[in-house]
Amino acid sequence: MLHNSNLTIGAAVANQSEAMEQRNHFKNGDSPKTQRSRINFKSCVFTIVGIMYISLAFAQETNEDWYKDPKPNEKVIGNVTYEGSFSASYYTGYAKLLEKAKKEYPNKTIDLRQVRCSGGGMNDYTNASAKVVDIGPSPEAKLNETLVKAVDKALNKVREGSRLAIDQISVSGGLSRQTVNDVLIDVLLDKEYRVVAKEYLEKLKEEQAQQKSGDFNDKTTAQTGNFTGVGYFINVRANEQSIRVQVVNVSTSEYEGNATVEF
């Protein structure tokens, strides 16, 4: 009888403990069912956030012109493919495709559109493809072409072989004065004009004076005062829309030519 009483008391204590535990779970909102629901909810949230993060990263990575369709002013001149393992990055795929495309189209200014990468696992791709578009001449080529036209018009009355000096160059809109100066010199020399380094005249005078100091061999020294006069000054104004070239006749102080050419 005592044995049965002890069993009854033990069972009662166990039931009471279980009941208290359940009440605590419900009091704290942590019933087993609720806990499982919360775990499932958190898992879903983490999964959604992960997908959103990956999608955002992918969107940021591929938010470039080379991922989009060709623009209306771009001419598709071919396709390029790359086969071989590379890191799981569209930037890497784009770089490899562009390197290969430049070898296949060496004389054109190109870019890629509709870049696609596929294959491989989570950390790499095994192939990539894209359309090759001709985006036209480079900024340097455009500058050279425009300067050639402007110089042809402005110096129409100046004979080849004449001595010229670049007097003033003013630029705006992001252009480099040094770049315009260098390209202009190349254009003038290609047209067989004699370009005087006006900015170096003072240094040249100092060098001639030093050579006359007695420390140099007379047979190799430059003759002082042997500078030949400049016949024309060239003035240039350039911006992103156009280039203006003016030619001034040094002897008459008159404008010998004036031309504006748009890019």
Instruction: Summarize pLDDT for 5-54 with one digit per residue, the tens.
Output: 343 444 444 455 455 545 554 445 555 555 556 556 556 655 555 555 44
Write down the pTM of the prediction.
0.48
Rounded distance between C-alpha atoms, residue 198 and residue 167, angstroms? 8
Rounded distance between C-alpha atoms, residue 230 and residue 167, angstroms? 11
Question: Tens digit of pLDDT for each residue in 184-236?
Answer: 999 999 999 999 887 666 665 676 666 666 665 555 444 544 456 789 999 99
pLDDT at 121 over 90: no
Residue type, 239: N
Contact in structure between 165 and 188 (CB atoms under 8 Å)? no
